[in-house]
Each structure stands twice: as C-alpha cells, then as structure tokens.
Chain A
Amino acid sequence: MSSTEQGTSSAAPAEPTTAPESAAAPEVPESFYYVHGKDKVVHKVSAGALQHSALIHGMISNLGYTEEQAKANPFPFENIDGDILQMVVDWCNQHKGKPTPPEDTNLPKQKEKLFDLVLAVNYLEIKELLTYCCKQVAMMVKGKSPEEIREIWMIPTDAEDEAAEKEAKKRAGKEAAGETAAAAGDAK
C-alpha cells in the first residue's frame, strides 16, 4: 500500500493529488481475503479487519496478493483450530476501523479455549487482542495463593523442575556419547 501511495505522490505534484485521494477514499470498494484453519473452513475477512493482524497484513503487502489470488489460495493456518480462528476473525470484524476499547469482556472464560486463543493471537500478531487475552490470563490468578496459582497455570514444583533438568542433562549426555561413537565409527 505504501508503495502505491509513494508512486502517485512522485508522479504528480504533492498538493493537488492529496486532496482528491482523500475525497475518493471512501468510494474504493473493500477488498476481501480468505483464511482457513485446521478444519479447512474458509473465512472471508475484509482487508480492513485484517489490518489488526501484523502477520496477515505483512503477507498481503509483501506478497502483493490480489483478491482473486486470495480467493483461490486462502491463507492456511494449519496450527489454529477452526473455532479459535472463527473467534479471531469475529473479533477483527467487530473492531474493524474502530479504536479498541480498554477492556474486552467477550473473551472465552474456559481455560483451554483462552490458552489456544492466546497462542493463535500471538502467532497472528494481533497486538490489542493479545493484550486483552493476557490481561484475562493474569486475572485468573488474582487473589490466589501460590498453591492455587501453581494448579491453575500448571507450574512445576522445584522438585519437578530439578527432575526435568536431570533428565535433560542425562539425555544430552547420551546424545553426545552417541555422536562421538558415530564419529569414531566413521573414522574407522
């Protein structure tokens, strides 16, 4: 988008071009793009709504996707569940071109859904939604004891951390031994 804007401004004098461009802006028909998640269900999303996602916005501007190309090849997000992608698309549509409110109460209350939503939103780089989601995750442990927090966020205890560290060291040692044995075999 920025390249076309630069093109027009360099082709014509700056002052006369800026006024008609801004006046004609609302008449430009909105373009739509298509995305699908793990369930292969294709979602139609307007370019305005997709502005929220830095990842998709970058893909559109860098790949120079036209609407026809996008219809034939929807953006695949195989790592995102269909219902989660639907939630993200709905949120983007709801907040299209609007200033984002300080709080969002429509986020899922179930822990697992929220967990998947956070991962999806982080992957799609939707900053405002990520902030809301993280706020919601933080609120889950407000006024909870360390034991309750550990249960909610499944934080391993010190003993579990130590055991995992030992296991990782053991595995690394075995892998190193395996590599040296293989190297010795190759040398023979």
Chain B
Amino acid sequence: MILSKYPYVVQKEILDHMGYNDLFLLSFASKNMKKFIKSSQMSRFQSCSFIKYTCDYRDEPWICVHYGKIRQGIMRIVKREEDKNDYFQLNVSGKTIDFRFKRVDQNIRFPAIENSYYMYPFAAYQETEKESVIK
C-alpha cells in the first residue's frame, strides 16, 4: 500500500483519523511526511488549547494535548528498563532518544481514545541524561 499514490483528500482523511501519538511517530518517517502532516492537519493543530507537560505520582513526565474538553496523550517519558530490548531510536530535535511501546488501558487514564487498550509510545532515558531527554 503506497500512501503517496492516494489523492490529497484521501491522505488527509487518513491522517484525520489518527491520534496525536500516532501522528507524532509518523512525523519521523520522513521530512516530506512531516511537512505533509503540518500542512494537512493545520486546522486540527490550531484547535489545540494547549500541550501539557505533567508528572504523575511516579514522577514520570507525560505529555498530552488538550483540545476542547478532550485530552489525548502523545507520550510518556520513563526511566529506561534495561531488561527490555524492543527499543527503537528516534532523532528528536537533534537528540537520539530510545522509544518503546507499552500497553495502556484507556479506561484508566485516557478516555479520549477509542479502543479499550492501545500501544503507547514511551521515551526512555538513562539516569544520567534525564534532563536532556525531557528538554
């Protein structure tokens, strides 16, 4: 399936059905894709009230987008688990950061997302580089 073979309206419609966390990861696929996301989802991004960086009771930062009365998570930032080997690396603003997916039950924390659970991106940091990863 070649996404670029679809007409613009179809590509936009597909992106319209993606959550912010999936769009965030899709933007790393290529520079052109990032440009396309920015241009096609402009009205959606403009409807964002704010992006919240917050910490939960475990002192683990997480980032979510608020639009209207709905909030949708983009990612969490957690301490790297050395026993896990399913990390993939992404270059975020010039810094290479390890990411992995973790199953999150939607009913507990993120009521805005459709399925009862979904795979959620977690950025991981080594203790020494915690601050730089969060930045």
Q: Is residue B33 contacting chain A, with contact meaning CB distance below 8 A?
A: yes
Instruction: For the complex, give the distance between the alpha carbons of A158 and B22 in Å.
Output: 20
**Once the chains are docked, how many angstroms separate the CA of A142 from the CA of B104?**
13
Please tell me which one of the listed residues A114, A143, A154 contacts residue B101 in the complex, with CB atoms under 8 A apart. A143
Answer whether A144 and B25 are a contact pair too, CB < 8 Å, given A152-B1, A154-B1, A154-B3.
yes
User: B2-37 CB contact bits vs A (8 Å, 1 = yes)?
Assistant: 111111011001111111001001101111110000
A131 on the B face (CB < 8 A):
yes
Q: Within the complex, which residue of B2, B17, B118 is in contact with A153, where a contact is CB–CB below 8 Å? A: B2
A10 CB, nearest partner CB in chain B, Å: 38
Counting chain B residues whose Cβ lies within 8 A of the other chain, the interface size class is 20 to 34
Residues from chain A with a CB closer than 8 A to the CB of B133 are none
Check A130–B30 contact: CB distance below 8 A. no
Q: Does B90 contact A (CB under 8 A)?
A: yes
Q: Which of A119, A138, A147 has the most CB of B within 10 A?
A: A138
Task: Give the residues in chain A near B88, CB-CB below 8 Å.
Answer: 145-147
A111 close to B (CB within 8 Å): yes
**Distance in Å from the Cβ of B54 to the closest Cβ of chain A?**
22
Question: Is B99 part of the binding interface, using a Cβ–Cβ cutoff of 8 Å?
Answer: yes
B32–A161 CB distance below 8 A = yes
Whether A65 is near chain B, meaning CB under 8 Å from some CB there, is no
Contacts of B3 in A (CB 8 A): 153-155
A118 in contact with B90 given A146-B29, A155-B30, A156-B30 (CB within 8 Å): no
Which chain A residue has the least Cβ–Cβ distance from B24?
A: A146
Contact B1 A146 (CB under 8 A): no
Give the chain B neighbours of A138 by CB distance below 8 A.
14-15, 17-18, 22
Provide the bound-state CA to CA distance between A158 and B32, in Å. 8
Could you tell me if B25 and A158 are in contact, using CB atoms closer than 8 angstroms?
no
How many of A's residues come within 8 Å of B, CB to CB? 32
Give the distance to chain A from B36, nearest Cβ to Cβ, in Å.
10
Contacts of A142 in B (CB 8 A): 18-19, 22, 118-119
The answer to whether A149 touches B17, judged by C-beta atoms less than 8 angstroms apart, is no
CB–CB A141/B32 < 8 A: no
Minimum CB distance partner of A123 in chain B: B7
- B13 near A146: Cβ-Cβ < 8 Å: no
- Tell me which residues across on chain B come within 8 A of A161, comparing CB atoms: 30-32
B21 to chain A, nearest CB (A): 9
| Given A138-B14, A138-B15, A142-B118, residue A150 in contact with residue B30 (CB < 8 A) | yes
Q: Would you call B2 and A154 a contact (CB within 8 A)? A: yes
A–B pairs, 15, beta carbons within 8 Å:
A115-B1, A138-B15, A138-B18, A139-B17, A142-B118, A143-B22, A143-B119, A143-B120, A146-B29, A153-B29, A155-B29, A155-B30, A156-B30, A156-B32, A158-B30
